[in-house]
Structure 1
Amino acid sequence: MAPTLYDEKPEPGDLIEIFRGTYQHWALYIGDGFVVHLAPPSEGPGAGTSSVMSVLAEKAIVKKEELWDVVGPNEWKINNSLDNKYKPRPVNVIVREACELVGDELPYCIFRGNCEHFANELRYGKAESRQVCKAGEVALAAGMAAVLGLGFVALAGALFGGSKKENKNTE
């Protein structure tokens, strides 16, 4: 069951991570039940997993909406886990800059400028996306496994394939 404001009470400047199946959407809590977030134009309030197609957009809009409209039926949590890596900027600066950006259209790129980059840049002054880092690690691991697998096949072929050829030549 998704948390309610009675379970978790975000403070201005908190990052809100919203779980949408195959990805997480990120927003910045600015107070009074509102968040500011970066959303491709096709992503409406309470977007579900179908909004994953919005990652193909090249532009996104900075929106100020009620937390519950953005969360919709999805689970969410306060996630300021980069606090152990970066010092958060002053709350008044975070909230002011977030509000000044509302309505702006910004370049959007899943790898270099997504909603998590946006939220982290507001809180820490550092545009970082752990989702992108994790996806890169998974892709690297898959690539390494493929290379190792091909290497193993080639080695097995060299070790065991050659003996048949030799046997054929000796007959």
Structure 2
Amino acid sequence: MFHVTKQPELGDLIEIFRGIYQHWAVYVGGDFVVHFVQEGGSGFSSFSNSGFSIGSGDAKGAFVRKVKLRDAVEDNKWVVNNSLDHKYTPYSPGEIVRRAHAKVGEELRYDLLTYNCEHFANEMRYGVKVSSQVLTVATGGLAGPLSWLG
């Protein structure tokens, strides 16, 4: 199910809601996004197209992919979320798209805490590797729901 709060523009960050976590992508035009995904690996293998994995830290198969927005979203809700624009200066839309396209096909080391799909998306837009989800967990915001990770 598509949930559009506004039509994405070049370089916008797309936040996709997938239950207990959000997946992130960069809108590059023509209804395409670039995102960092883990294909296979360990941990939450059922979340393989999200890039979300907890477990042995196996980063094999973590790639930057360009896909249709609808394929990244699947049947989840999504919004344009450039909420860090107040904190960091974004690159120009053309530069964000160029940076994202330059990474397509690369295999990168995935790490839930230090380099996940949100880190990647923010790096493309702002040049800063930051994840609000990780910061929320680190400060106890999701300690209850994630306490079973243990």
Is TM > 0.5 for Structure 1 vs Structure 2?
yes
Distance in 1 (alpha carbons) for counterparts of 2:2 and 2:142:
33
* Residue in structure 1 matched with residue 3 of structure 2 by the alignment: 3
1:113 is paired with a residue whose SS is coil
* Residue in structure 1 matched with residue 39 of structure 2 by the alignment: 41
* Residue in structure 2 matched with residue 14 of structure 1 by the alignment: 12
Q: 1:54: Cα distance to partner?
A: 4.6
Q: 1:2: Cα distance to partner?
A: 3.5
1:107 is paired with a residue whose SS is coil
Q: 1:42: Cα distance to partner?
A: 2.6
Paired AA for residue 47 in structure 2: S
8 Å contact from structure 2 (residues 3, 79) kept in 1:
yes
2:23 is paired with a residue whose SS is strand
Distance in 1 (alpha carbons) for counterparts of 2:12 and 2:99:
14
* Residue in structure 1 matched with residue 47 of structure 2 by the alignment: 51
- For residues 110 and 141 of structure 1, do their structure 2 counterparts lie closer, same or farther at Cα, with a shift above 3 Å needed? closer
Paired AA for residue 15 in structure 2: E
Q: 1:22: Cα distance to partner?
A: 1.1
Distance in 2 (alpha carbons) for counterparts of 1:51 and 1:41:
9
Q: 1:97: Cα distance to partner?
A: 1.3
2:108 is paired with a residue whose SS is strand
Q: 1:58: Cα distance to partner?
A: 1.4
8 Å contact from structure 1 (residues 42, 54) kept in 2:
no
1:71-150 mapped onto 2 (5 Å cutoff): 71-138=73-140
* Residue in structure 2 matched with residue 63 of structure 1 by the alignment: 65
Gaps of 5+ in 2: 145-150
8 Å contact from structure 2 (residues 136, 142) kept in 1:
no
Distance in 2 (alpha carbons) for counterparts of 1:76 and 1:140:
20
Q: 1:50: Cα distance to partner?
A: 3.2
- For residues 42 and 3 of structure 1, do their structure 2 counterparts lie closer, same or farther at Cα, with a shift above 3 Å needed? same
- For residues 96 and 140 of structure 1, do their structure 2 counterparts lie closer, same or farther at Cα, with a shift above 3 Å needed? closer
Paired AA for residue 29 in structure 2: G
Structure with bigger gyration radius:
1
1:55 is paired with a residue whose SS is coil
Paired AA for residue 12 in structure 1: L
Deviation sequence 1:41-97 (CA, Å, 0-9, x none): 139xxxxx9317951441410000000001000010000000000010111111011
Paired AA for residue 131 in structure 1: Q
Indicate the RMSD between aligned Cα atoms, in angstroms. 2.3
Paired AA for residue 96 in structure 1: R
Q: Which runs of 4+ in 1 moved over 6 A?
A: 139-142
Gaps of 5+ in 1: 44-48, 143-171
Structure number having the greater helix percentage: 1
